[in-house]
Amino acid sequence: MHRQLMKGNEAVVRAAILAGCRAFYGYPITPASEITEAAATLMPKVGGVFVQAESEVAAVNMLYGGSSAGVRCMTASSGPGISLMQEGISYLAGAELPCVIADITRGGPGLGNLGSEQSDYHQVVKGGGNGNYKTLVLAPNSVQEMADLTRLAFELADRYRNPVMLLADGFVGQMMEPVEFAGKALEPGTPSWAVTGERETRGNMITSLHMKFDDLERHVRHLEEKYRCAEQLEARVERSFTRDAEIVLVGYGIVGRILKAVVAEARAAGLRVGLLRPITLYPFPTSEFRAIASHARCVVVVEMSTGQLVDDVRLALNGACPVEFYSRVGGNVPGHDEVMALVTRLAREMDLQARLEEMGVAHA
């Protein structure tokens, strides 16, 4: 148990190596570059591979190669680079190749800016590549979670033979907090399906191509089945004061941290406010949302995007509870005072409505 001060981006690489990752292929981009830089320094020390690729297109295809060879491998980028990786992510999912991809999100669209946004939710959670596939998505909110969820990402990638993405905003990547690396260094064995250039694996073949219609349908159904399993088993959330909450705040990553401060302040003011923070964005913690719908009177989704997570929240709630949405974009952060003002207004409205109901006045 020893905590040391470190940037989120630097923690990712250390956690990855401890999880047995031995290859990193990267292309620099703010605010993810420290991951690539740390990998350049650390991978050679542990006998791993580091390649600075000529583009994110090459980097993601190197992941395809490294994973084909049975090596735990990863890359990291930000919005524009993740867009370029979508081709490869589709191939990775299609060929059932495990790997980890970190997206330290910046502002968009296009070059946007270097500030922190959460506008990659759609392209990461919904997938930007072709075909019927999913990536598992983990959303850390602290340096500690950058480490813990990176380790988990490698486990899940192997368990489901699928790419796993770490979706963090620029803040989580750039900030320093104390972190403690749990667990021993792992040395994962070579999976039996890998192509390693040895006699035992000569009969192995990696492809995403299935020419016969029935073959492809069978393959896609198999992928679907895996995703259903993950949906049953892997959804994770952080709950804070949700049990009796009338207003439930929802946000992931850094927003989850800000909302936590709002909850503390609101509770101090006597308001029944709670926080539900999705840690996995896919699988989406649908049942957690269904559970709060039984008592919450309003769900407030806060995002650093014009509304991406909120779509999934609405789908999960399926009309069971009204949803309010608040956002800041462009590198701006939803201020804790701004959210507090919204919460106070909502509480007042709800209070008013309750009193009207008590008086027997129907409310339109």
Partner 1 sequence: MPEIGNTYEVAFERPKSMYAQFDRKEDLQHTTHYCAGCGHGQVHKLLAAAIDELGIQDRTVLTSPVGCSVFAYYYFDVGNVQAAHGRAPAVATAIERSRPGATVISYQGDGDLSAIGSAEILHAANRGENITVIFVNNAIYSMTGGQMAPTTLVGQRSTTSPGGRNPATEGYPLRMSELLATLEAPVYIERVGLGDNRQIAQARRAIKRAVENTTKRLGFSMVEVLAPCPTIWKMSPVEAQRWVKDVMEKSYPLGVMRDRVKDAEPKPEPMVAPGLAEIPGLLGIEAAVPGEASRSGHRRRGKAVHLGVRVAGFGGQGVLLLGEVLAEAGLEAGLEVSWLPSYGPEMRSGTSNCHVRLASEPIDTPLVTMPEILVAMNEPSLRKFDASVKAGGWVIYNGEEFPAELMREDVHVLAREFTREAQALGDPRVANMVMLGALLELAGVVKAEAIHKALTKLVKSPKWVELDERALARGRVMAREEREQVSRGCGVMVG
Is 57 one of the binding residues for partner 1 (CB under 8 A)?
yes
Site for partner 1 in 317-356 (CB under 8 A): 333, 335-337
Site for partner 1 in 156-175 (CB under 8 A): 170-171, 174-175
Is 2 one of the binding residues for partner 1 (CB under 8 A)?
yes
Is 69 one of the binding residues for partner 1 (CB under 8 A)?
yes
Under 8 Å between Cβ of 69 and 191? no
Distance from C-alpha of 280 to C-alpha of 316, rounded to nearest angstrom: 14
Between 17 and 316, name the residue whose CB sits nearer to partner 1: 17
For tokens 């900030």, the residue is 175
Distance from C-alpha of 344 to C-alpha of 219, rounded to nearest angstrom: 51
Is 40 one of the binding residues for partner 1 (CB under 8 A)?
no
Stretch that binds partner 1, among 77-85, 195-203, 228-236, 356-364 (CB under 8 A): 195-203
- Closest to 259 (Cα-Cα) out of 234, 281, 278, 236: 278
Distance from C-alpha of 29 to C-alpha of 24, rounded to nearest angstrom: 15
Under 8 Å between Cβ of 133 and 122? no
Between 174 and 286, name the residue whose CB sits nearer to partner 1: 174
- Chosen residue from 211, 359, 361, 364 binding partner 1 by CB under 8 A: 211
Number of residues that bind partner 1 (CB under 8 A): 82
DSSP 40-53: HHHHHHTT-EEEE-
Handedness of CA 205, 206, 211, 214 (dihedral sign): positive
Show the site string, 265-284: x = touches partner 1 by CB under 8 A, - = not: --------------------
Stretch that binds partner 1, among 112-120, 159-167, 224-232, 343-351 (CB under 8 A): 112-120
Distance from C-alpha of 204 to C-alpha of 194, rounded to nearest angstrom: 7
Is 14 one of the binding residues for partner 1 (CB under 8 A)?
yes
Least Å distance, CB 55 to partner 1, is 6
Stretch that binds partner 1, among 157-165, 194-202, 287-295, 347-355 (CB under 8 A): 194-202
Distance from C-alpha of 328 to C-alpha of 299, rounded to nearest angstrom: 18
